[in-house]
Amino acid sequence: MDGGFGDLEVRSEEVRKWKSEDVVSEMRERVVGFMLVDPILIALEKQLGCYTRLAKLAELQHEHVQNNQTEALLEVLGKRQGVLDEVASLEGTIAMAKRHWSDYVGKLDDANRARAEGLLAQTRVLLERITAADRNDALVLQQRKLNLGRQISQAMNARQINRTYAAAAYGTTKAKMDLKQ
Residue 9 lies in a domain: no
Radius of gyration (C-alpha) of the chain in whole angstroms: 34
CATH number of the domain that residue 93 is part of? 1.20.58
- pLDDT tens profile 109-160: 999 999 999 999 999 999 999 999 999 999 888 887 777 777 787 778 778 7
Q: Is residue 90 part of a domain?
A: yes
- Does 125 reside within a domain? yes
Q: In this structure, are residues 88 and 34 in contact, taking their beta carbons and an 8 Å threshold?
A: no
Asked whether residue 63 is assigned to any structural domain, the reply reads yes
| pLDDT for res 179 | 59
- CA 178 – CA 181 distance, rounded (Å): 6
pLDDT tens, position by position, 153-180: 777 877 877 777 777 777 665 656 655 6
Give Cα separations from 141 to 65, 73, 78 (angstroms).
7, 12, 18
Range of the domain at 67: 15-167
- Predicted model pTM: 0.63
pLDDT for 13 = 54
Residue 97 lies in a domain: yes
Give residue 31's pLDDT.
43
Winning range, highest mean pLDDT, from 3-7, 15-19, 33-37, 46-50: 46-50
What is the average per-residue pLDDT within 50-76?
95
Is residue 109 domain-resident? yes
Query: Hey, how many other C-beta atoms are within 10 angstroms of the C-beta on 129?
Result: 15
Q: In this predicted structure, which of 30-34, 52-56, 129-133, 139-143 has the lowest mean pLDDT?
A: 30-34
d(CA 175, CA 161): 22
Is 73 part of any domain? yes
* Residue 61 counted as domain residue: yes
What is the total count of domains within the chain? 1
Find the range with the poorest average confidence among 39-53, 77-91, 139-153: 139-153
pLDDT at 163: 77
Neighbours of 58 (CB within 10 A): 21
| The pLDDT value given to residue 117 | 96
